[in-house]
Structure 1
Amino acid sequence: MKSEHIYKSHNKTLLLYHLVFPAKYRKKVFDEIVDITLKEICEEISCRYEINFIEIGNDEDHVHFLVQSVPILSLTKIVTIIKSITAREIFKRHPEIKKELWGGSLWTSGFYGNTVGQYANEEIIRKYVKNQGKAYNKIYQGQLNMNM
């Protein structure tokens, strides 16, 4: 599947995220059979939520997702939806995995998340913003600290 803009009544977006979810205890629970189940579950999530799975890849102990969504869903909400539904359904369809994880969670509590720019990287966006208008006034450069 190729990522394309999502059109809504008042916006047009192309929001892509690279997410990585490690299995709890880095247990090697993903094999060819579980991979098929994971793909099916992700297809079901796509039908119910505005989360498009562009690509899914994994090693035996973690999964990479390239997903696209809409601005109304925060990154945290996207992660929560994917982690909770995949865990519940994998445990339901493969109870042996739950036993292997001592009845606990499928995923670690954390995750890796990164935005993906299809049309421009950070430097190109900086140049684009700088060249808007006739006089550019740089107000700030760096990362704003919200804990001031």
Structure 2
Amino acid sequence: MSEYVHKSHNVTVLLYHLVFPAKYRRAVFDEQVDEVLREVCLEIEKRYEVKFIEIGVDKDHVHFLVRSVPTYSVTKLVKMIKSLTAKEVFRRCPQVKQKLWGGEFWSDGYFASTVGKHGNEGMIANYVKNQGNEYLKLHRDEQLTLF
């Protein structure tokens, strides 16, 4: 589950539930795209102060449960995740670009909601799980860290 992020002058736990629909709400997510999306998100964790608690896909949209720091606004977080994932999906899965008529991967809109640490995180994770018809969990971070 989520942990407090300790910095030199603050302690935070900022959790966001983000939903990104694919452009034109096209059903572009398959096993290959799912794996690329998961790999890219785990690489983002290594380079930025972002932790993907859960990633889940339905046929035409993706749910993220993300922990971040106060220096990243929701808009900055969304732009970063959308741009990096879209570039890599198009590079590694060229058939997706053809399905989307050579356009963008994500639609312009998104859904963002904050999640409280006490009481609401499990409820939102359950909501995300039961949201779509064919929800598939790609990643769930339950690994304990030493430092």
- TM bin (shorter chain): 0.7 to 0.9
Larger Rg: 1
Q: For residues 93-112 of structure 1, what are the structure 2 equivalents within 5 Å?
A: 93-112=92-111
Q: Give the aligned partner of residue 141 of structure 1.
A: none
| Seq. identity, % | 61
Q: Give the aligned partner of residue 16 of structure 2.
A: 17
**RMSD of Structure 2 on Structure 1 (CA):** 0.9
1:27 aligns to 2:26 (yes or no): yes
Q: 1-side partners of 2:71 and 2:92: how far apart?
A: 31
Count of residues paired in the alignment: 120
- How far does the alpha carbon of each residue in 1:12-40 deviate from its partner, in whole angstroms, 9 at most, with x for none? 00000000000000000001221111100
1:7 aligns to 2:41 (yes or no): no
Gap regions ≥5 residues in structure 2: 121-147
Q: Give the aligned partner of residue 45 of structure 2.
A: 46
The one-letter code matched in structure 1 to 2:42 is E
Q: 1-side partners of 2:80 and 2:71: how far apart?
A: 14
Runs of 4+ in 1 over 2 A off after TM superposition: none
Secondary structure of 1:108 counterpart: coil
Deviation at 1:120, TM superposition (A): 5.6
Secondary structure of 1:55 counterpart: strand
Secondary structure of 1:79 counterpart: helix
TM-score w.r.t. structure 2 length? 0.80
Stretch deviating more after TM superposition (58-67 or 27-36): 27-36
Q: Give the aligned partner of residue 116 of structure 1.
A: 115
Q: 2-side partners of 1:34 and 1:3: how far apart?
A: 26
The one-letter code matched in structure 2 to 1:32 is E
Secondary structure of 1:92 counterpart: helix
C-alpha contact 2:20 2:106 (8 A) present in aligned 1 = yes
